[in-house]
Structure formats: structure tokens, C-alpha cells
Chain A
């Protein structure tokens, strides 16, 4: 069975300081991992994805995540927070069937990022 755990339900940073949102995963197979973001009253937007290629994945809006198999982690980082980054972030793993990672996704509990001026 696959699962993801987001270690913080709420993170607060000051504008211009680094962001770290933590995610641990559990998977019997080589996982496909994603980070999605949801801004208020908006849909879920894909930030980045890991699909067994490079372990350091760059996404949109300056975000990146590093896949660490030894630590079963997929933490999301950004060097400098912007006010517009305030949103809820979801770490997600895809359920694997046969040889494919499917669109049946398992979501973490979500981390709300607050950015203070």
C-alpha cells in the first residue's frame, strides 16, 4: 500500500525567507510523487512531479523538491517566499497498477502556508 504523510499542518514564514514543507511517503514500488497547490477558491494546480528520473525536481514559481529514497522523503522547498505563495499544499502519491502509475492519487493531509509581510 502507498501513503504520504505531511508532517506539518500549518507553516508560517516571513516574506523573503525560505520555505520548507515536509512530506514522507511509503511505497512498495518506485513511486510517482507530486506536489499540488490550492489557492483560495481555486482548483488544484500541479507544482511539480517526480517520476523516477532526476531526484531533484524543479517546478513552477521557483519551487523544487528532492526525492530521497533513503529517507522516504519528498520535501518541497523555495529559497524565498512571496506573499502570493500563501495557499494549501498537498503531497501526493500515485497508485501503481501493473506497470503504470495511475491517476488514482493518494493525498496527504495538506499544509497551509502562511506568508507574513
Chain B
């Protein structure tokens, strides 16, 4: 079983729509959670950390469900510039590596 699994999509949505997707992680000892954004042929960039209480950054909302071991990302009022691959990332306490999912592709159309 993969450490982090994501729905690959693609999610094809019109501008202004809301899109949401999840990822699941296998290791219950995971402590830190992140969403990274990766544009085509570019490096991953940190979008936001995910906290137990859930957190929001502008149009982006992240949720963590430890009991079910999943993380979600919701994008409201989608913009064309939101088109990218979103990588779910987890890390265990005292560990040195980030474990990445394969990514969820989102395409926002005009």
C-alpha cells in the first residue's frame, strides 16, 4: 500500500466553481501534513500546511481527519491560474523525509 494516495483526477472545472479532493495516508504516526502545488515541469511549491483544526488561506481550505487518515483541499471561486497538480504530503515526527502522493490534476477552464 502506498504511503499517500490521491485521486489523480483530472478535475476539469469552470472558472468560479468550487473543487474539492482528498488524499489518504497509511501511517497513523504521521504528524505533519501539507499541500504543495506543482505547475507543469516546474518544482513543487508549498501551498499550505494542514492543521488538526483545519485552516483556510484565502480561497483555499484544508482539513485533516486523523481518525480516517485523510486530508482534503477545497478551492473556492476557481481561477484559471489555479490549474496545476496538487500534491498531498505527509511527514512523521522525527523523520527526515516528506512522503508525496502522485498528485491531483486540476484544470480550470474559461
Q: Do A and B bind each other?
A: no
Measured CB to CB, the residues of B under 8 A from A are none
Measured CB to CB, the residues of A under 8 A from B are none
